[in-house]
């Protein structure tokens, strides 16, 4: 089963714990999962860790060549580097700079080979191109099943 992730990057600490528990419940007993992620802070990284801890495989699609240097914050570098080192494959989209078009291209790449999508999403519209709502819309247009994960009490920073 190939599952892609999309979701918010700005989760509170408590919401991160709630989301992790919810994703663990969704993936319980599915060690054959291939999780596909862009490894953005928040939902993407939580999902990647849950997949790996459950015995699954991680595939990464980075939006652009400058993604790590330009977008990964210093306090998140260790987590990002740890997860990318554990990935079975890492593909970088053909963009030099991280921007909304690059983010959407990475998400589309994931959707191209996903059997399903998990969306850590509060249900609100995306503020710009390539946001969680846009990825959910693209997945649904393709006929992919989308599981929305937004536990009771979840909040964004």
CATH at 122: 3.40.50.450
Residues 151-155, mean pLDDT to the nearest whole number = 95
- Rounded to whole angstroms, the Cα distance separating 22 from 95 reads 33
pLDDT band for position 128 (cuts 50, 70, 90): confident
**Residue 59 within a domain:** yes
pLDDT of residue 122: 96
Backbone φ and ψ of 150, nearest 5°: -150, 85
Instruction: Tell me, rounded to whole angstroms, the distance of Cα 64 from its chain centroid.
Output: 15
Residue 124 buriedness (CB in 10 A; 0-12 / 13-18 / 19+): exposed
Q: Is pLDDT above 80 for 36?
A: yes
**Residue 81 within a domain:** yes
Give me the chain's average pLDDT, please: 95
Q: Is pLDDT above 90 for 127?
A: no
pLDDT of residue 144: 98
**Residue 104 within a domain:** yes
**Residue 155 within a domain:** no
**Residue 40 within a domain:** yes
Nearest to 153 by CA among 22, 48, 25, 7: 22
- Rounded to whole angstroms, the Cα distance separating 125 from 156 reads 14
Q: Indicate the number of domains in the chain.
A: 1
**Residue 154 within a domain:** no
Q: Is pLDDT above 90 for 130?
A: no
Residue-wise pLDDT tens digits, 65-118: 999 999 999 999 999 999 999 999 999 999 999 999 999 999 999 999 999 999
**Residue 48 within a domain:** yes
pLDDT band for position 58 (cuts 50, 70, 90): very high
pLDDT of residue 152: 95
Q: Using the 8-state DSSP alphabet, how is residue 39 labeled?
A: -
Sign (positive or negative) of CA dihedral 120, 145, 24, 36: negative
Domain of 17 in residue numbering reads as 2-148
Query: What strands, in cross-sheet order, belong to the sheet with 89-92?
Result: 89-92, 57-62, 34-37, 2-7, 116-120, 146-148
pLDDT of residue 126: 79
Residues 19-25, mean pLDDT to the nearest whole number = 98
Counting residues of the chain whose pLDDT is more than 70, the rounded percentage is 100
pLDDT of residue 85: 98
Q: State the virtual CA torsion across 100, 104, 109, 114 in degrees, nearest 10.
A: 140
**Residue 123 within a domain:** yes
Q: Is pLDDT above 80 for 129?
A: no
């Amino acid at each position: 089963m190939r599952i892609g992730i999309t979701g918010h990057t700005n989760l509170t600490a408590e919401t991160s714990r709630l989301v992790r528990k919810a994703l663990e419940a969704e993936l319980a007993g599915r060690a054959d999962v291939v999780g596909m992620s862009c490894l953005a802070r928040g939902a993407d990284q939580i999902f990647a860790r849950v997949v790996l801890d459950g015995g699954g495989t991680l595939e990464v699609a980075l939006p652009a060549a400058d993604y790590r240097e330009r977008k990964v914050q210093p306090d998140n570098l260790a987590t990002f580097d740890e997860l990318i080192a554990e990935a079975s494959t890492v593909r970088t989209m053909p963009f030099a700079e991280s921007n909304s078009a690059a983010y959407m291209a990475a998400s589309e790449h994931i959707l191209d080979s996903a059997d399903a999508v998990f969306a850590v999403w509060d249900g609100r519209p995306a503020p710009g191109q390539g946001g969680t709502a846009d990825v959910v819309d693209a997945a649904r247009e393709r006929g992919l099943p989308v599981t929305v994960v937004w536990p009771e009490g979840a909040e964004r920073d």
